[in-house]
Chain A
Amino acid sequence: MPQASILLIPLLPLIGFLVPALGGKTIFKKQTGWFATFLLAVSTALACSTAWNYFFSYGKENGIYQKHFPFHTTWLQLTDTLSIDMGILLDPISALMIVVVCIVSLMVHLYSLGYMKHEERYAMYFAYLGLFTFSMLGLVLSSNLFQIYMFWELVGVSSYLLIGFYFERPKAVAAAKKAFIVTRFADLGFLIGILALSYQAESLDFVTLLERLTQPNSTYLTQATTSSFLGISSITWGCLLLFMGGAGKSALFPLHIWLPDAMEGPTPVSALIHAATMVVAGVFLIARMFPLYALGAPEVLDIVAYTGAFTALFAALIACTQTDIKRVLAYSTMSQIGFMIFALGVSGYGGTAGLGYSASLFHLFTHALFKAMLFLGAGSIIHFVHSNELKDMGGLRKSLPVTHLTFLIGCLALSGIPPFSGFFSKEGILLAAYQQKPFFYGIGLFTSLLTAFYMFRLYFSVFWNKPQQNTDRIAGDGGLTITLPLLILAAGTCVSGFIPFGQLVSSDGIPFSSSLHLGFAVLPVLLAIAGISLAFLFYQKDNLRAAYWSEKLKGFYKTTYHKFYIDECYMYVTQKIFFNLIGKSAAWIDRNIVDGLLSKTGSGTQVLAEKIKSFQSGKLQSYTTWYLIGIIVLIGLFTFFIH
């Protein structure tokens, strides 16, 4: 059975935050990193054993994975029926997520030991990493909506701190603010969604809430579907707004604009937060609430699917034209999250119809490993050439042998080439789409082609393209702390595809076996190879083909290069419309009506004070007269009128 020791999993990273933040950094100095890494290693071991025990020893009852509550306490008892609780919910997806978060975070910690060692604020960096890891683990283990919202915001704060880690750079500060504001805006929707749903279900607890709102004949469900606002039922509103929060964190169109800019943070942070863990919080949220979407509000699930598919395609197109290595990876992340989201969107509830659900979380898992590896690899590359731009790279095969190997594995996995993990998870998604909604299958195929193309465009531009760099800078991979995480993640990428995922994670907790149809896999793999070949032709050697084609498709190329001008649209809307129309008019109201009212009250009081001066004549006769008048008026008033 699960034990309360599971509490240690999030609490150890919290210690890793508190100790340096509360002054321990002066005591530990350079040891802070090792201290934090050690704590996280313990966490990771605990997380893995917890997940292992859950999946293979006590999790299943009668063949169904059960939800366990190893820890539960009431935090605020608001009324007899409503309370805010703190608890831990252990089920297949949270068991999966703690493993993902711990492993990736541990790898990033290890990598950072070498990568960040020359930073002045080294200790604070690890403190922030600890805070983030604590918040993320808290988020995935939450047992109710309010708790998840709290950790959701904590994750946002630590992301803000880490993006803005180089706060002496104006761009980093701007990016941190942008990320915070955009996600905060989305979280507003999230909060309203939480309130709407918990109001209808009269509970914040996941289990109770889902049960009440999904049982066909429950009074709560009838109430939630019949009460409506603007012609849309409150359960739909709730699901929609919840998805808005998820879309903000997961950088789905049109709330994606903060993610590329967030690459201003240190590269290991991008690997941890903006590739593997925090950005999939939206996927996790939808998965957590999945029964509600599938059974209570299927129309919202369609919106989820369309948003995901559009984001996948849209981001893949942009990724083909970007020239900054981290931005290409960022758009690729967006595209892959789009995959996960639309997989959820096309999924049904229960049985093999729930393939999309399993595939989505499978992709989340595999993607976390290889995308973190790709980012860490990019970190090594950037560190070696001191630039983010592809044009400054090329021919780095010999200089960075370990990075080269692992980066290639990552690219292959992302492109969906067997036997790497990405192939299996993406196949699952495509199969689910094909079975449920063929339209999405088409989009998925095309996006796979683009994925293979842009990933290998990256690969060839970085490691081939130009002649070998001069050999005295050979073996720039860095020490063991840098290469070890890359190798571990690469190993994970090679083997994790073979996990029978449907047996572990499914929409209703009943394991199912998903077999791989070889015939079905042919088309996607062929398309991926086509994409790779195209990239090979364009970028393997320094040639003019790419330039020629971009000239040919000039208008389209420019549009994608400028990310479809979405940022400009936002700027237009905020600067011109919000600031001018609302901001200026609000300022006018503030200055003239609010301030005006106050200053008029002030001057009016002064004038009135002048006026009553005449009563104060200094003549005793008039004083007594006023006295008499006053008392006569009062007697008249009370004896004739009021009484």
Chain B
Amino acid sequence: MITDFLIQFRSETALTVLILLLLLLKITREVKNETLLQWMQLLLCGVLLLIASGPFEGHLFGSMFIATPLITLEKLILATGFLLICMLHHEWLKAHEHLIEFLILSLSSLLGMFLFISSGHLILLYLSVELITIPIAAMVNFDLEKRRSSEAAMKMILSSAFASGVLLFGLSLIYGTTGTLQLNELPAALQAQPLQIAAFLLVISAFAFKLSVVPFHLWTADVYEGAPVAVAAFLSVLSKGAVTFMLITLLYKVFYPLEAVGYPLLQILSILTVLIGNLFALRQKNLKRFLAFSSIAQMGFILASLSSYTVAGAAASVYFIIIYLFSNLTAFGIVQIVNTQNGKEHLESYRGFYKNNKFLSWALALSLFSLAGIPPTAGFFGKYFLLIAAAAREQYVFVILLALNLMISLYYYLNIIRLVFTKSPEEMETVRISQPAKLALWIGIAGTLLLGFAGNLLEHIQSIMN
């Protein structure tokens, strides 16, 4: 029992220890932010190694907690993302007076994500959702002197509370109609009664809220606008990644008796999300908001792939999340680096950016190409497999609509690249890049370029999914 606990619960234990250490540090002594960050990055690497130390299968606490190779991989992805955020936003974090609090909160949220994707019981699922969300709401407030930041945090916590209420309502309906909250017992108990369908829709809507799926996305705009860039990146990549992973488990392992409902539901939601997300992104004049909105549309493509209810669709989604993580974090990181230095995040201020910032421009262009899905970047392969999966049911109108939306997204991504590379009388001065950020950018670039050719990665995901 105790060895099982130590092995399967190792990443969660490590994070908890880390959080406790930071708490102790906070009340005992002053540490320079620089040193703290260095230690933090080092320790996170250790956590990564710990997670990667092996895929172990099993369950703990009476099947409340599940460990599979797929979940291990997903945890690895999330932890990598968190490490990249810490490195890319090094400058901003270093300058922040409440760094320890920020780290405690973000690590708690990460711990929530770990528990969330490992949960085998709906109560643990609910609790971990709260563990993810509440620290984020606090983190959104971390631009302490800005009122918008506080407003965003307020909206975040209130609307999340609402979504949690809906989720709980759904869970109670499930318990009412089936008599169990154990995920592995649920499929046998579901018969697609109207009440169960309603419960399913309520649960899915809470997930849709987290993923900013239309029409549950309205909180996103205000929160992203107020939040610090690092938090926006955390929200739009890590939190969405974790929710997507759990959504795959729910759709494919738990609620699959309701496939007849899930299939059209996901199609409708995905088309709405892709379209509205694109329309929002089109209007943005602020690069941070733009990235946040374009991520809404990206989620729509993931839903489209999931709607196929095939292993290929699920595998393509996980694969896409990995690629998306590298591309989007790189883009967010560049926005942060520029913003910390000169406070600029307006699209127009990037005009002529190339002149003095060759490396950053190329990195930005590459990540945007990948997000737009242009070969040979990995984003192309990611989108390609998503669309292939979405086409599995031969609903070609649906696929054509998705492809048309890809074209719209092409417009706004390329528009930014155009701005960056056009000449302008007011060029931005050269932006300094800290060493960790530079390293992280290189990692992001490598991921963006090489992952597309890692065809066996997709096969690997597919094989551990079965």
Contact = CB atoms under 8 A, between A and B. Distances in A.
A613 interface: yes
B219 A623 contact: yes
Interface string A606-643: 10111011011010101110110111001100110011
B168 to A, nearest CB: 14
A608 B194 contact: no
A642 B261 contact: yes
B205 A643 contact: no
A605 interface: yes
Contacts of B221: 616
Given A638-B201, A638-B264, 10 more contacts: A612-B279, A613-B283, A620-B155, A627-B162, A630-B205, A631-B166, A635-B201, A638-B261, A643-B194, A643-B261
Contacts of A612: 276, 279-280
Contacts of A639: 194, 197-198
Contacts of A631: 166, 201-202, 205, 216
B135 to A, nearest CB: 20
B162 A624 contact: yes
A613 B222 CA distance: 13
A624 B159 contact: yes
Interface of B: 155, 158-159, 162-163, 166, 192, 194, 197-198, 201-202, 205, 209, 215-216, 218-219, 221-222, 260-261, 264-265, 276, 278-280, 282-283, 408, 411
Nearest to B155: A620
Given A627-B215, A638-B265, A606 B282 contact: yes
A626 B218 contact: yes
A563 B282 CA distance: 62
A622 B159 CA distance: 11
A605 B276 contact: no
Q: Which of B198, B215, B278, B411 has the most A CB atoms < 10 Å from its CB?
A: B215
A605 B219 CA distance: 22
A355 to B, nearest CB: 61
Q: Lowest 7 A-B CB distances belong to which pairs?
A: A630-B215, A623-B218, A609-B279, A639-B194, A609-B283, A631-B205, A609-B282
A interface, size bucket: 20 to 34
Contact of A643 (B155, B192, B209): B192
A65 B445 CA distance: 69
A634 B279 contact: no
Contact of B280 (A609, A624, A630): A609
Contacts of B219: 620, 623
A620 B192 contact: no
Contacts of B163: 627
A643 B264 CA distance: 10
A609 B279 CA distance: 5
Given A612-B276, A626-B215, A605 B201 contact: no
Contacts of B276: 612
A634 B205 contact: yes
Contacts of B202: 631, 635
Contacts of A606: 282
Contacts of A615: 218
A620 B205 CA distance: 17
A626 B162 CA distance: 12
A609 B278 CA distance: 9
Given A623-B159, A631-B202, A638 B197 contact: yes
B283 to A, nearest CB: 5
B218 A627 contact: yes
A622 B222 CA distance: 13
Nearest to B154: A620
A610 B279 CA distance: 9
Contacts of B159: 620, 623-624, 627
Contacts of A602: 411
